[in-house]
Structure 1
Amino acid sequence: MSILETFQLSLKNIWASKMRTFLTMLGIIIGVMAVIVIVGLGNGMQHYIEDSFADLGTDSLTVMVMGRGSSRSVSEEQMYEMVEENSDMLKMLSPTVSVSFPVKIGSDTVSTTSVSGVSEDYFSMKGYEVAQGRGIQYMDIASRKKVCVVGQYLNTAYFGGSAVGQTVKLGNNTLTIVGVMAAETDDPEEGGTDDCLFLPYSTAARMSYSGTIGSYVLTVQDKDEIAQAKTLVEGELYKIFEDEDAYKVISMSEMLDTMNSMVNMIICVLAAIAAISLVVGGIGIMNIMLVSVTERTREIGVRKALGARESVILRQFVMEAATTSALGGVLGIVLGFGLSAVATTIITSLMEASLTVRPSVGAVAVAFGVSVGIGVLFGYLPARKAAALNPIDALRSE
C-alpha cells in the first residue's frame, strides 16, 4: 500500500467518525490558536514599543548631570566642546531645561502643556517640523529672548490656528509665539504629544530656580554605535567630575532592547503555557487511537491474514494520528488568524492605541510542525500495538 493510499484510507476512517475526531482535535486546535495569538500579540507589542521609542530617538543619548556639590559642574560650553572634539561619533547636542510653570493664555491656565527649554538644533534632532512661522534660532538663545514655539493643540484650541505673533505667560514672563509645530498626531488633544511649548534653553534656565542646566540630549552619527558613544560620553564626564554618581547617561536604544527582552520573556512563558494544550491534545489523540485499535481488531486481523506486514499496519495508524493532528493544526491556524484580527479591533477600541496583533510565519510553522509531531509521537504507541497483534487472536475478536 502506497503512502497516498494510506493517506486516503486515513481520511476515510477520520470522516467516518466526524464528531469524535473533532473532539479529539480540540486540544490541538486550541493550542495552535493560542500560540499564534500570543506570539502575534508579542510582535504587536514590540512594534508598538519601537514606534513609541522612535519618537524619543533611538539614536540619542540623554545626559543627566547631578554635579558634585556646589564646587564642580559642567557647562554647556564644555558639552559642546565634547561633541565637537568627537564629531566622528557624536552628531548634535541640545541642552534641555524643564519648566514647571503652567502656561497662561489670557484668563485660561493650561497645566497639561509640557514646557521645555531647548537649543536651535533640537527640532532637527527629533525630526520635528515647523508648520507656521519659524523655529528657535541661535540669536534667541544668545540674547535670551522671550520667544517660544507651540504645538498644534495650543494653536488650534486657544488661538484659532493663528498663534504666531500672539503671547503666552510662564509665571511672570510673557513669551511671544514665533512658530507653530506641525501636528504629530491626526487629532491633537490636551496632554498629548501636540500639547507642548518650546523656548530657548537660556531663557528657560534663567526662569528656573537654580539657573543651571542639568540635562542634555545628544545624537550619534551611527545608531549602531550607540553603546560606544555612551561609553565615550561617560568617560568624558568622568574626567570632569571624577565621580560616577555625578552624572547619568541614558541610551534610548538600550532601554528599547531591555523592554523588548522583557516582552519576549513574557511571551515565551505565555506561549509555553498555551503549548500545554498541545500535549493535552496529543494525549487525546493517543486515547482515541487506542480505542480505534480495539474497535478495529478484527479488521487488523483480516489484513494481516491477507499478508499485510506490520510496517503497513503501523504506518496506517501513525498516518491517521498525524492526519488528525494536522487537520487540528490547520483549523487552529485559521482560528488563530481570525482571533488575531478580532483582538486587534478590541485592543484598538479599548486602549485607543494602534497595536496590531501580528502572527508571524515562524510561529505558524512551528505551531503546525509541533502539532503534527505530537500526533505522530502520541499515535505511535497505539499504532505499535495494532501492528503487534497476533492475526489469529485478532480474527477471534468479536
Structure 2
Amino acid sequence: MNIKSVTKMAFQSIFSNKMRTFLTMLGIIIGVFAVVVLISIGQGATSGVTDSISSMGSNIISINIFDRRKSIIYNDVYDFEKLDGVKNVTPVYNSNATVKYDLETTTVNINGGNENYMNINNYKIGSGRKISPVDVDYRNKVAIIGLTTAEDLFGKDNPLNKDISINGEKYTVVGVLQDKESSIAGDSNDIVIVPVTTLMRQNSTKEINSITIQANSSEESTLAKENIENYLFDYFEDEDSYMVFSQDEMLDVINETTAMLTAMLGGIAGISLLVGGIGIMNIMLVTVTERTREIGIRKAIGAGRVNILIQFLIESSVMSGVGGIIGAVLGVIVSSAISDIMAINYVVNIPVIIGAFGFSLAVGVFFGLYPANKASKLKPVDALRYE
C-alpha cells in the first residue's frame, strides 16, 4: 500500500468524526494561541517602553535621593552643571493633581522642571512657548499642557493664554506640546509641565528628590556618571542615600526583566500544548480500540506494520498541525486587537509563531507515536476476533 493511499485513509478517518477531531485539536489551538498572544504582547510592551526611553537618548542620567536626614535643595542642583561631562540639568518634582477649566475637570500628572526639562525629556512645543529661566526664577504660574489634557479641558478651543486651576491655584497656559507616542507606562500626552520652583512652593517643600542630567554626549555619559557619583558620595558620605543610573542601564534591566517574564509566560502557555498532546494521545488510543477489526482486516489483505504506523501518525500530526495553524492565526488577530485597545506596540515575531507551530506538530507526533505503534503491533488474528 503506497503512501498516497495511507494518507487518504488517514484524512478520511479524521473527517469521519468532525466534532471529536475539533475537540481534540482544541488543546493545541489554545496552547499555540496563548504562546503567540503572550509573547507578542510581552515583546510589544517591551518595545514600547524601550523605544520611549531610547528616544530620550543614551546620554541621560537619572538621580534619586533617598536620604531624609540630609537633602538636596533647589540651588544645590546647579552644582552638577560644573561637573565634567555634564551638559544640562533639571530638578524634577512630580505631583498628581486635579486640573480644572471652566466646568471641565481631569486628574493629571503634574511635572515640575526648569527650562531644560523639555529638551532632556524629548518634549517639543506644538504651539506657544517653553518654560523660560525667568519663569523658574520668579516662580511664575505658567503651564505647558499635552494634547490629551488640552482636549479633555478645552475640546477644540485654543487653550493658549487661558487660566487653568491646579489644586486650586491658577496657572496660565503658555504652550501646548506636540503629539508624543504613548507607551505601556501611560499616555505621554496627558501631562502638565510647570516651573519646578512654582510647584515646590505650592506643595510647601524645598527638597529635591529627583534630578535628570544630560551628558555632553553618549561617549561622555560614563565620565559624567562617575563624576556625579563621586559628588554625591562626598555630599552624603553614604552610597545608600542615592541611586544613579543611566538610560543604557535602565534599558538593560528592562530588557532582562521582560525577557525573563516573557519566557516564563511562554513556558506557562506551552504547558497547555502538552495537555493538548495528551488529549491527542488519549483520543488516538480510543481510535485504535474502536478500529481494531479494521486494522485486522487491513493487515489480512496485505497492509504492513509500517503502513498502519504511518496512517495513525499522519492522523495525529494533521490534528496537531491544523490546530497549530488555527491557534497561530487567532493569536496574531487577537494580539493585534489587544495592542490597539491598550495602545501599545505589537510585534509579529515570526520565529515565535514558527516555533509554536513546530512545537505543536512535534507534540502531535510524539504523543501519537505510542497509539500508532500499538496499532501497528496488533496481530491480524487477534484483531479480527476483537468485538
TM-score range, shorter chain: 0.7 to 0.9
Q: Distance in 1 between matches of 2:109 and 2:272?
A: 50
Q: Tell me whether 1:40 sits opposite 2:40 in the alignment.
A: yes
Question: Do the aligned partners of 2:71 and 2:208 also contact (CA within 8 Å) in 1?
Answer: no
SS of the equivalent of 2:326 reads helix
SS of the equivalent of 2:123 reads coil
SS of the equivalent of 1:19 reads helix
Q: Tell me whether 1:375 sits opposite 2:364 in the alignment.
A: yes
Q: Offset at 1:246?
A: 3.9
Q: Percent identity?
A: 35
Give the counterpart letter for 2:376 in structure 1: A
Q: Give per-residue Cα distances to partners, 1:321-346, cap 9 Å, x unaligned.
A: 1112112222222333344355456x
Q: Give per-residue Cα distances to partners, 1:362-392, cap 9 Å, x unaligned.
A: 3322221121111111111111112222234
Question: Do the aligned partners of 1:314 and 1:384 also contact (CA within 8 Å) in 2?
Answer: yes
TM-score normalised by L of structure 2: 0.74
Task: Choose the corresponding residue for 1:326, options 315, 321, 326.
Answer: 321
Question: Do the aligned partners of 2:101 and 2:154 also contact (CA within 8 Å) in 1?
Answer: no
Structure 1 residues 360 and 224, CA gap change in structure 2 (3 angstroms): farther
Q: Distance in 2 between matches of 1:144 and 1:55?
A: 31
- Match of residue 277 from structure 1: 272
Q: Offset at 1:305?
A: 4.2
Bigger CA drift: 29-38 or 378-387? 29-38
Q: Tell me whether 1:314 sits opposite 2:309 in the alignment.
A: yes
SS of the equivalent of 1:92 reads strand
Q: Tell me whether 1:128 sits opposite 2:117 in the alignment.
A: no
Q: Give per-residue Cα distances to partners, 1:77-103, cap 9 Å, x unaligned.
A: 431111xx22xxx54322345689999
Q: Distance in 2 between matches of 1:3 and 1:226?
A: 66
TM-score normalised by L of structure 1: 0.73
Structure 1 gap segments, 5+ residues each: none
Query: Equivalences for 1:65-80 in 2 at 5 Å?
Result: 65=65, 75-80=76-81
Give the counterpart letter for 1:126 in structure 2: N
- Match of residue 184 from structure 2: none
Aligned residues: 378
- Match of residue 10 from structure 1: 10
Q: Offset at 1:182?
A: 2.3
Structure 1 residues 233 and 320, CA gap change in structure 2 (3 angstroms): same
Q: Tell me whether 1:286 sits opposite 2:320 in the alignment.
A: no
- Match of residue 88 from structure 2: 92
SS of the equivalent of 1:114 reads strand
Query: Equivalences for 1:317-396 in 2 at 5 Å?
Result: 317-344=312-339, 348=341, 353-355=342-344, 358=347, 360-396=349-385
Q: Distance in 2 between matches of 1:101 and 1:317?
A: 66
Structure 1 residues 364 and 235, CA gap change in structure 2 (3 angstroms): same
Question: Do the aligned partners of 1:37 and 1:357 also contact (CA within 8 Å) in 2?
Answer: no
Structure 2 gap segments, 5+ residues each: 182-186
Structure 1 residues 79 and 340, CA gap change in structure 2 (3 angstroms): closer
Question: Do the aligned partners of 1:33 and 1:333 also contact (CA within 8 Å) in 2?
Answer: yes
Structure 1 residues 137 and 376, CA gap change in structure 2 (3 angstroms): same
Q: Give per-residue Cα distances to partners, 1:159-205, cap 9 Å, x unaligned.
A: 963635x788999x99887x41324469xxxx984552433x67777
- Match of residue 151 from structure 1: 145
- Match of residue 181 from structure 1: 176
Q: Offset at 1:6?
A: 3.4
- Match of residue 161 from structure 1: 158
SS of the equivalent of 1:248 reads strand
Structure 1 residues 223 and 369, CA gap change in structure 2 (3 angstroms): farther
Structure 1 residues 225 and 5, CA gap change in structure 2 (3 angstroms): farther
Q: Distance in 2 between matches of 1:227 and 1:2?
A: 69
Give the counterpart letter for 1:92 in structure 2: N
Question: Do the aligned partners of 1:282 and 1:374 also contact (CA within 8 Å) in 2?
Answer: yes
Q: Distance in 2 between matches of 1:274 and 1:247?
A: 40
Question: Do the aligned partners of 1:184 and 1:194 also contact (CA within 8 Å) in 2?
Answer: no
Q: Distance in 2 between matches of 1:224 and 1:293?
A: 68
Structure 1 residues 110 and 117, CA gap change in structure 2 (3 angstroms): farther
